[in-house]
Amino acid sequence: MHVLLTRPLEDSKDLIFNFKSKGFKVSHLPLLNIQKINYEQIDFNSYEALIFTSSNSIRNLETKNINKETTCFCVGFATERSVKLRGFKNIFAAEGNVNNLKELILQNFTDKQKKILYVSGEIVTQRLDIELKSEGYSVNRLINYKVLHNQNLDLEFLKKLKEDIPKIIYVYSENSAKSFLNLIEKYELVDYWMNTNLMCIGEKTSSVLNSIKWKKIFLFNPGEEEYLLYKI
């Protein structure tokens, strides 16, 4: 079975290895490119907790001078692992989505007078900082990366894709879905997907691609990619 993964390589390499080891053919098409945004110097140690909703937010953060005992909240296995690799020890990780992360924070960070720093990309699908402020928390947001859309396909990749259309495609965000739709339309691939199962994180992501005729659309949470293979 042919599987197409669409996250940046840093986020996809474990899945590529796992899928290939199980005998799947794996293609990789990163739909987004991550670019670091420089930020002003911050007294990180004035914050009692840090929030990360993606691996990119921790990868693009200078952590050398941050107390590694600082409480960290994150969502998803990949983000949790990235936080651990930076040496942080007090980590709360939510499975699922940002709503699950919000509930985790509400349950485990009860002193609302203590400051929280939410580290994120330029564009987010859910303003967690605003939602937490409405709950009475003191939250600041630090934007340390932006997302650039992949606007072109390598012609050799395109040729191979048309010869063997993937049976499964994983798309991880609304931004990724928009990038994929643009490529589908640009390279006249609209009618190629009737036998392809589309795997999307969240309804906002799937809604972008609803105009394309897929075999079936599945919603999933980060970490469930391999589990989904057995639902088809």
Phi, psi at residue 99, to the nearest 5°? -65, -40
DSSP 2-28: EEEE-S-HHHHHHHHHHHHHTT-EEEE
Could you read off the pLDDT tens digit of each residue along the chain, which spans 232 residues? 999 999 988 889 989 999 999 999 999 999 999 999 999 989 999 999 999 998 999 999 999 999 999 999 999 888 999 999 999 999 999 987 889 999 999 999 999 999 999 999 998 878 999 999 999 999 999 999 999 999 999 999 999 999 999 999 999 988 899 999 999 999 999 999 999 999 999 898 999 999 999 999 999 887 788 888 877 7
- Please, which residues have CB within 8 angstroms of residue 219's CB and are 6 or more apart in sequence? 199, 200, 201, 202, 203, 206
The Cα 63–Cα 61 span in angstroms is: 6
DSSP the chain: -EEEE-S-HHHHHHHHHHHHHTT-EEEE---EEEEE-------GGG-SEEEESSHHHHHTS--TTS-TTSEEEEESHHHHHHHHHTT---EEEESSSHHHHHHHHHHH---TTSEEEEEEES--SS-HHHHHHHTT-EEEEEEEEEEEE-----HHHHHHHHHS--SEEEE-SHHHHHHHHHHHHHTT-GGG-TT-EEEESSHHHHHHTTTS--SEEEE--TT-HHHHGGG-
Q: Is-contact 215 188, C-beta < 8 A? A: no
Q: Where in the chain is the domain with CATH 3.40.50.10090?
A: 2-31+149-231, 44-147
> How is the beta sheet containing 197-200 ordered, strand by strand?
25-28, 2-5, 168-171, 197-200, 216-219
Tokens of 69: 């005992």
We find that the CATH architecture of domain 2-31+149-231 is: 3-Layer(aba) Sandwich (3.40)
Strands 2-5 and 25-28: parallel
Q: Is 81 buried (19+), middle (13-18) or exposed (0-12) by CB count in 10 A?
A: middle
Q: How large is the C-alpha radius of gyration of the chain?
A: 19
pLDDT at residue number 121: 93
pLDDT at residue number 232: 75
Q: Is-contact 116 132, C-beta < 8 A? A: yes
Instruction: Report the length, in residues, of the chain.
Output: 232
For the domain covering 44-147, report its CATH number.
3.40.50.10090
pLDDT at residue number 128: 94
Measured from the Cβ of residue 87, the count of other Cβ atoms closer than 10 Å reads 10
